[in-house]
Amino acid sequence: MSAENESKIALRVLMMPKDTNHEGTIFGGVILSHIDQAAYIEARRHGTHRWVTAAINKVDFIAPVFTGDIVSYRTRTVNEGRTSVTVAVEVEAERRKDGTTVSVTSAQLVLVSIDEDRNPTAFNQKGAEG
């Protein structure tokens, strides 16, 4: 994998009690929101303008996240189109109690560059102003 295609940490979040559900684990929706934010951060590397999420593929949660865990969202661009990018997001939790790291979930998102009228628009490659 070339350095350009390697995943990068886009977001790290300390999970707080306010993020927990009635079972004492972090709400899946909280994780989904962070996945969306991390994908936006990756898309923005392709141009500093409006990006909206058009699609999120299947998301399977394979491990719970607990209060006090530090969750990392690693991203990489897997496809670049004229008006959109596809971003892969890998989610890992560093356990508060022992520091071990577990895989939580992964997803691919399609983000579309839009203009002020909310129409898809071609974006400038390599982070140029759009």
pLDDT at 4: 60
3-113, CATH topology level? Thiol Ester Dehydrase; Chain A (3.10.129)
Determine the distance from the C-alpha atom of residue 112 to the mean position of all C-alpha atoms in its chain, rounded to a whole number: 15
* DSSP conformation letters of 6-33: S-EEEEEEE--GGGB-TTSBB-HHHHHH
Measured CA distances, 50 to 11, 37, 54, 120, 128 (Å):
19, 13, 13, 10, 13
Q: Consecutive sets of 10 residues in the chain, 130 residues long: mean pLDDT of each?
A: 74 97 95 98 92 96 97 97 96 97 98 94 60
Sequence spans of domains, the chain: 3-113
pLDDT at 5: 72
**pTM of the prediction?**
0.89
